[in-house]
C-alpha cells in the first residue's frame, strides 16, 4: 500500500519556485497566472516561440504577447477550453523534432475550440507547469457538475421556459450551500446580468451554473483533489483509497469502502454510476460527520470503567442551582436540568432552613433566591441518568437545624429510595467502588459522624462557604482579613448514614506547594475543589490547574461561559460524554513519579509531536456584541494547547482582511505534547477588526480524541451553541517523538555513550541501603537498552533480506517468462528489464555483504538475543522487587539518615522516579522480546 501511495499520489509541489511568493492553493495559481509567465509555444514544424502568457483579470481569456497577430487573435476564451493535458501527449509534441529535448514534467497542452485544436506549451520548470495546469483546470467547468446542476435546474423549471426566477435561483443555491447569505447570492446574479447588459431578473441554466461555480467552489479543496486525482477532474475508487489511507489514517481500506463513500456523497448520477467522486462530492465528504476532527470511537463509553472511583475525573458543577452570579443571582431548578443533561455527575445542594419546616436551597448569607429542597430532589430523580448511567454525586452543603434535617432525610428516602448508595467502600485496600459497580446509583458527599457515634445525632464541623464569602466581603478595602473559624454543628445520625463520601475540600495551595504528594493522595481519595467564595461574579478557575494534581471533582459554574468552561465541556466530551474520564496511568499506579508542575518530559510517557495546518475558514459570523460597522470580519485563528506546564503553548495565524466567507490561512504549527492523556487543543477564531467583542467562535477537544488528516472543526459560540455552517478546515498529523528526529533529553536521567545511545540511570536517595539496590540496576539497564536497539536493527536486516530475496525471485521470473514480450500493455515497476537487472545486481551485492544472510546465522542470532533479553528482564525485575520492599518504611529510613524537610521530600521523589524508570525499562524489554517488529521504526 505504501508503494502504491508513492506511485499514485500526485502532489503539486512548489518547493523550488524561484520567487518567495508561496503557492499553496488554486487561488494562488490564478493570481500567478494573472501576473503571467514566460512559456515556450511549440509548433508542429519544430519551431519554438517564446511568448509571455497571462490570464485576464476577469478570468475569461488567456492571452499571450508579443505576437504579430492582432490582440483578439492572440487569445483563447477560457470557456472554449475542453481539456488541459499534461506531458507530451499531443501529435505536435510527438512529431516535433525537438521533443526529446523537452522535459515531460514541463510540457502541457490546452485543447480548445469546436475543432479540438491544441496549444502546446513548455514551462521553464515543472512548478510553473503545475501552476498553469492546476489553475486552468480549476477554471474549466466540470461536465459532471454541469450535468448535475442542469438536472436540479430542470426540476425547478417546471414549465420548461429555460429560465427560473431570481428568487428560485437564490433559494436553490442556498439549499446546496446553506452557509451562503441570500444577499450575496442575489448580488452575484445581478452583477452577472449587469456585465451582460441583460434586462430582467430571470436566470438561465448557464447563469445558474456559472454563479454556483463562482460561489460554491472551494479552491483549497479543489487543490487537494488535484493532488490525489492522477490528473483527472475527479477521484476514482483507487485515488480515494490512497487518500483515505495516506491522509485520513483509515485502517483496512478497501475498494468497497471507496464505492460506499462515493455512493453516499457524490451528487451527480454519472459519478455514482462510474464510481467517480467529483469536486462537489469530495467537498460533501470532507464536510460530513465522517471527516469530523472528533474520533467517533470516543462518542461512546470506551474507557475501562471498572477501576476505583478515585481514578476518574468527574464532571462537576458548583452552585448548580444558580443561573447567574452567586451573590445576587436567581436560583432555579433549570440549573440542575441543564447540568444533568450536559453529562454532569456531581451537583451541589446548599441546604438551609426554610419556611413551613421545608428546607430550601440557596447560597447562604447572600441575596440569591430560594428553591424548595424537595422540588430539586424531584428534578434530580427525573434527570439523574438521562445523559449517563454512571453514578451521580450529590454534594450536600448541610446548614439545617436537626428538625429540618429530618425533613431532608424523609425527602431523600421517599423520592430517591434505593437509588441512594449507602454501602461503604472496600476497607481492605481503602479504594472506592468503580463507576460500573455503581451504575444507576446516587452517592451523597458531605459531613459524616464518627463510626462510634451511638446517639441519634452528633457534632461535626460546619462548612459554610456562604459565611466565608460574607466575612471576606466585610474585610474588603485593604483591611486585614479575619480568619473564619469553623463552627460546631449538630448532624442527624439518619442523614449521616446516607452519606457515602466524606466531605473534603482542598485549597489551591496544596496543588502549588505539594504537587507530588497531592497526586499520590488523590490515588485513593476523592478531592473536590470549588471556586473561591470571592468570585461573586461566578467566574471559574482553570480546571487544568487541579486535574494535573489528580483532583477528581473540580466544580465549575455552569452558568458562566468562557475559556474555563470551554475546557471543562471539551474535556468531558471524551468517553461518550458519560461524565467520567480515566486519569493518566502515571496518576493511578501505586508507585509512580509525577509532579504536576513538571516543565519537561514525563518518565515513561512518549512525547507526541502535533502538526496542525490551519487551511481555511467557512462562513465566519460577525462577533456578537461587536460595535464594528458592516458584516465583514478580519479573522485570525489561535491554536492553544492546555495541559501540564511543559505542554502549555499557543500560536496564531495571520489576519485575513475583510473575508469571513472563505478566508485562506494556510499556516502550519508544531507542538510537542509531553503528557498526551492530559492535553487539550483549543481552536479560537477572533476578529481583528472589532469594537468591543472580538470572539467569533471556538472548539476545544482532548488531544487523545483528535483524528489525523483533513478535518473540519465546527465552531461554537461563547455559550456553547454550534454556530450554523461555521467551520475551520485543518490538516492534522501526530507523530511519536521516539519514531525519529534529533536525539534529545527525554526527561529521564540520561548520559550518552560513545555510540550515541541514551542510557537511563538511577537517582541518588542518600539512603545507603536503598541506593545500593538501585546501583545494582546500572548494568542490566545498560544491557536492556543495547538489547532493544540490537533487536530493532536485527529485525530490520531480516526485513531487508526478505525483500531482496523476493526481488531476486521476481527478476528471475521476469527474465524467463514471456509476459514482457507478449503482453503489449504490460508495464512492470521498472521500465525495462535492463533497469531491473541492474537493481538486482546492486541488491545482490548488498546481500553478499549482509552479515545476517545465512538462515542458520539469522536463527542463531535471534535465539541469542531472546535468551539475553530473558536474563536482563529478570535481573531488572529483581531490582524492582527488592526496592519495593523499602517502600513502606522509606520515610523512617530517611529520618534515620538525618534527612529532613526538602532533602526528605527529594529522597522520596527520587525513589518513585527510579521505580518508574525500572517499570518502563522492564516493559520495553518484555515488549521488544515479544513483538520486536511492532516497536521498530518505519522502514
Q: Give pLDDT tens digits for 471-502.
A: 443 444 333 334 445 677 889 999 988 988 87
Single pTM value for the model:
0.72
Domain contains 740: no
- Minimum mean pLDDT among 16-20, 175-179, 675-679, 810-814: which range? 16-20
**569 touches 562 (CB < 8 A):** no
What pLDDT, on a 0 to 100 scale, did the predictor assign at position 598? Answer: 74
C-alpha cell recorded at residue 433: 467502588
Does one domain contain both 850 and 788? yes
Q: H or E segment at 895?
A: helix 890-896
User: What average pLDDT does the segment 154-179 reach?
Assistant: 91
Does one domain contain both 351 and 259? no
Better-scored residue on pLDDT, 277 or 799 = 277
Q: Which residues contact 130 (CB under 8 A, 6 or more apart)?
A: 12, 13, 14
pLDDT tens across 311-368, in order? 999 999 988 888 655 445 567 888 899 999 999 999 999 899 999 999 999 875 555 5
What pLDDT, on a 0 to 100 scale, did the predictor assign at position 789? Answer: 66
**Domain end residue (candidates: 116, 140, 164):** 140
Quick one: pLDDT band at residue 503, thresholds 50, 70, 90? low
For 765, other C-beta atoms within 10 Å of its C-beta total 27
What pLDDT, on a 0 to 100 scale, did the predictor assign at position 867? Answer: 63
- Domain ranges, residue 248: 218-291
User: What average pLDDT does the segment 388-408 reach?
Assistant: 94
What pLDDT, on a 0 to 100 scale, did the predictor assign at position 67? Answer: 62
Name the domain count of the chain.
5
Check whether 799 has a pLDDT greater than 80.
no
Q: Which CATH number is 502's domain given?
A: 3.20.20.190
Three-state SS for 825? coil
User: What average pLDDT does the segment 388-405 reach?
Assistant: 94
Does one domain contain both 277 and 331? no
User: What average pLDDT does the segment 71-77 reach?
Assistant: 80
Does one domain contain both 34 and 113? yes
Check whether 921 has a pLDDT greater than 70.
yes
What pLDDT, on a 0 to 100 scale, did the predictor assign at position 71? Answer: 64
Domain contains 844: yes
Quick one: pLDDT band at residue 781, thresholds 50, 70, 90? confident
Does one domain contain both 246 and 320? no
Quick one: pLDDT band at residue 913, thresholds 50, 70, 90? confident
Does one domain contain both 383 and 498? yes
Check whether 51 has a pLDDT greater than 60.
yes
Alpha helices in 196-309 (DSSP H): 205-216, 219-228, 237-246, 255-265, 269-274, 279-286
- Minimum mean pLDDT among 72-86, 274-288, 427-441, 862-876: which range? 862-876
Domain contains 213: no
User: What average pLDDT does the segment 59-88 reach?
Assistant: 81
Average pLDDT, the chain: 79
Check whether 619 has a pLDDT greater than 90.
yes
Q: What is the CA radius of gyration of the chain?
A: 35
**Domain end residue (candidates: 112, 140, 168):** 140
CA nearest neighbour of 464 among 366, 347, 539: 366
User: What average pLDDT does the segment 894-923 reach?
Assistant: 78
DSSP code of residue 416: I
Q: Which CATH number is 256's domain given?
A: 1.10.238.10
Check whether 746 has a pLDDT greater than 50.
no
How much of the chain exceeds pLDDT 90, in percent?
39
Select, from the ranges 426-430, 689-693, 770-774, the one with the highest average predicted confidence (pLDDT). Answer: 770-774
Domain contains 153: no
User: What average pLDDT does the segment 651-666 reach?
Assistant: 92
Check whether 828 has a pLDDT greater than 70.
no
What pLDDT, on a 0 to 100 scale, did the predictor assign at position 615? Answer: 95
Does one domain contain both 41 and 109? yes
Does one domain contain both 90 and 237? no
- Minimum mean pLDDT among 88-102, 261-275, 309-323, 861-875: which range? 861-875
Domain contains 636: yes
How many angstroms separate the CA atoms of 715 and 617, rounded?
10
Q: At what angle do helices 901-930 and 778-816 cross, to 10 degrees?
A: 30
Check whether 442 has a pLDDT greater than 50.
yes
Does one domain contain both 277 and 345? no
Q: What sign has the CA pseudo-torsion 363, 369, 370, 371?
A: negative
Quick one: pLDDT band at residue 627, thresholds 50, 70, 90? low
Better-scored residue on pLDDT, 533 or 182 = 182
What pLDDT, on a 0 to 100 scale, did the predictor assign at position 298? Answer: 94
Amino acid at each position: 500500500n505504501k508503494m502504491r501511495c508513492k506511485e499514485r499520489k500526485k502532489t503539486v509541489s512548489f518547493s523550488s519556485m524561484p520567487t518567495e511568493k508561496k503557492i499553496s492553493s488554486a487561488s494562488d495559481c490564478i493570481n500567478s497566472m494573472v501576473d503571467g509567465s514566460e512559456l515556450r509555444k511549440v509548433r508542429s514544424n519544430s519551431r519554438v516561440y517564446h511568448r509571455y502568457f497571462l490570464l485576464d483579470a476577469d478570468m475569461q481569456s488567456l492571452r499571450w504577447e508579443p505576437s504579430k497577430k492582432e490582440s483578439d487573435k492572440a487569445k483563447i476564451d477560457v470557456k472554449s477550453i475542453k481539456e488541459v493535458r499534461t506531458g507530451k501527449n499531443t501529435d505536435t509534441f510527438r512529431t516535433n523534432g525537438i521533443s526529446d529535448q523537452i522535459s515531460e514534467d514541463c510540457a502541457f497542452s490546452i485543447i480548445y475550440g469546436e475543432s479540438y485544436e491544441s496549444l502546446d506549451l513548455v514551462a521553464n520548470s515543472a512548478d510553473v507547469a503545475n501552476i498553469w495546469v492546476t489553475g486552468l483546470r480549476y477554471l474549466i467547468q466540470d461536465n459532471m457538475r454541469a450535468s448535475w446542476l442542469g438536472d436540479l435546474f430542470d426540476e425547478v423549471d417546471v414549465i420548461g421556459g429555460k429560465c427560473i426566477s431570481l428568487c428560485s435561483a437564490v433559494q436553490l443555491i442556498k439549499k446546496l450551500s446553506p452557509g451562503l447569505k441570500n444577499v450575496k447570492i442575489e448580488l452575484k446574479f445581478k452583477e452577472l446580468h449587469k456585465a451582460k447588459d441583460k434586462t430582467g431578473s430571470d436566470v438561465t441554466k448557464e447563469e445558474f451554473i456559472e454563479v454556483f461555480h463562482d460561489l460554491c467552489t472551494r479552491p483549497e479543496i479543489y487543490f487537494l483533489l488535484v493532488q490525489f486525482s492522477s490528473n483527472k477532474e475527479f477521484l476514482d475508487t483507487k485515488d480515494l483509497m490512497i487518500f483515505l489511507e495516506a491522509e485520513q489514517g483509515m485502517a483496512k481500506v478497501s475498494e468497497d469502502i471507496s464505492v460506499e463513500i462515493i455512493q453516499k456523497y457524490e451528487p451527480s448520477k454519472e459519478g455514482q454510476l462510474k464510481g467517480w467522486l467529483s469536486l462537489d462530492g469530495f467537498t460533501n465528504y470532507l464536510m460530513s460527520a465522517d471527516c469530523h476532527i472528533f474520533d467517533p470511537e470516543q462518542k461512546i463509553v470506551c474507557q475501562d470503567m471498572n477501576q476505583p472511583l478515585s481514578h476518574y475525573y468527574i464532571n462537576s458543577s458548583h452552585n448548580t442551582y444558580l443561573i447567574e452570579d452567586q451573590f445576587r443571582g436567581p436560583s432555579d431548578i433549570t440549573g440542575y436540568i441543564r447540568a444533568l443533561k450536559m453529562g454532569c455527575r456531581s451537583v451541589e445542594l446548599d441546604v438551609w432552613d426554610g419556611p413551613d419546616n421545608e428546607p430550601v436551597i440557596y447560597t447562604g448569607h447572600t441575596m440569591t433566591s430560594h428553591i424548595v429542597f424537595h422540588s430539586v430532589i424531584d428534578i434530580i430523580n427525573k434527570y439523574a441518568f438521562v445523559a449517563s448511567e454512571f453514578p451521580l454525586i450529590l454534594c450536600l452543603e448541610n446548614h439545617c437545624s436537626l428538625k429540618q434535617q429530618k425533613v431532608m432525610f424523609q425527602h431523600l428516602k421517599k423520592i430517591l429510595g434505593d437509588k441512594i448508595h449507602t454501602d461503604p467502600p472496600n476497607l481492605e485496600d481503602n479504594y472506592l467502588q468503580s463507576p460500573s459497580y455503581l451504575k444507576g446509583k446516587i452517592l451523597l458527599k458531605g459531613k459524616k459522624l464518627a463510626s462510634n457515634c451511638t446517639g441519634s445525632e452528633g457534632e461535626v464541623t460546619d462548612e459554610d462557604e456562604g459565611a466565608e464569602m460574607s466575612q471576606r466581603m466585610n474585610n474588603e478595602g485593604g483591611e486585614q482579613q479575619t480568619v473564619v473559624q469553623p463552627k460546631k454543628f449538630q448532624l442527624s445520625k439518619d442523614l449521616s448514614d446516607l452519606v457515602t463520601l466524606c466531605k473534603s475540600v482542598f485549597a489551591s495551595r496544596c496543588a502549588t506547594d505539594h504537587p507530588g504528594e497531592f497526586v499520590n493522595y488523590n490515588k485513593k481519595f476523592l478531592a473536590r475543589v470549588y471556586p473561591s467564595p470571592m468570585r461573586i461574579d461566578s467566574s471559574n478557575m482553570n480546571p487544568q490547574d487541579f486535574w494535573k494534581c489528580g483532583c477528581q471533582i473540580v466544580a465549575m459554574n455552569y452558568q458562566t461561559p468562557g475559556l474555563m468552561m470551554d475546557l471543562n465541556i471539551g474535556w468531558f466530551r471524551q468517553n461518550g460524554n458519560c461524565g467520567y474520564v480515566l486519569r493518566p496511568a502515571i496518576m493511578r499506579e501505586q508507585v509512580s513519579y509525577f509532579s504536576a508542575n513538571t516543565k519537561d518530559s514525563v518518565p515513561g510517557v512518549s512525547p507526541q509531536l502535533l502538526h496542525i495546518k490551519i487551511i481555511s475558514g467557512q462562513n465566519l459570523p460577525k462577533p456578537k456584541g461587536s460595535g464594528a460597522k458592516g458584516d465583514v470580519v478580519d479573522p485570525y485563528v489561535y491554536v492553544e494547547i492546555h495541559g501540564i506546564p511543559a505542554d502549555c503553548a499557543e500560536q496564531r495565524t495571520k489576519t485575513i482582511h475583510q473575508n469571513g466567507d472563505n478566508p485562506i490561512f494556510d499556516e502550519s504549527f508544531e507542538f510537542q505534547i509531553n503528557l498526551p492523556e492530559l492535553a487539550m487543543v483549543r481552536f479560537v477564531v477572533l476578529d481583528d477588526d472589532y469594537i468591543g467583542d472580538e470572539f467569533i467562535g471556538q472548539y476545544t477537544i482532548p488531544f487523545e480524541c483528535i483524528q489525523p488528516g483533513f478535518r473540519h472543526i465546527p465552531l461554537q459560540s461563547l455559550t456553547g451553541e454550534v454556530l450554523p455552517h461555521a467551520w475551520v478546515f485543518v490538516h492534522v498529523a501526530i507523530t511519536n517523538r521516539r519514531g525519529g528526529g534529533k536525539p534529545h533529553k527525554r526527561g529521564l536521567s540520561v548520559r550518552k555513550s560513545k555510540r550515541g545511545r541514551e542510557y537511563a540511570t538511577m537517582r541518588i536517595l542518600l539512603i545507603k541501603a536503598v541506593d545500593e539496590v538501585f546501583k545494582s540496576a546500572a548494568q542490566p539497564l545498560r544491557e536492556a537498552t543495547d538489547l532493544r536497539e540490537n533487536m530493532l536493527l536485527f529485525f530490520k536486516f531480516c526485513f531487508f533480506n526478505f525483500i531482496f530475496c523476493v526481488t531476486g525471485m521476481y527478476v528471475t521470473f521476469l527474465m524467463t517468462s514471456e509476459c514482457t514480450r507478449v503482453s503489449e500493455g504490460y508495464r512492470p515497476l521498472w521500465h525495462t528489464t535492463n533497469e531491473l537487472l541492474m537493481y538486482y545486481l546492486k541488491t545482490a551485492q548488498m546481500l553478499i555483504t549482509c552479515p545476517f544472510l545465512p538462515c542458520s546465522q539469522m536463527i542463531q542470532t535471534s535465539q541469542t538475543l531472546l535468551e539475553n533479553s530473558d536474563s536482563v528482564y529478570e535481573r531488572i525485575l529483581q531490582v524492582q522487587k527488592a526496592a519495593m520492599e523499602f517502600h513502606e518504611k522509606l520515610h523512617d529510613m530517611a529520618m534515620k539518615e538525618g534527612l529532613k524537610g526538602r532533602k526528605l521530600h527529594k529522597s522520596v521523589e527520587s525513589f518513585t522516579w527510579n521505580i518508574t524508570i525500572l517499570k518502563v525499562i522492564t516493559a520495553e524489554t518484555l515488549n521488544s522480546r515479544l513483538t520486536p517488529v511492532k516497536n521498530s521504526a518505519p522502514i
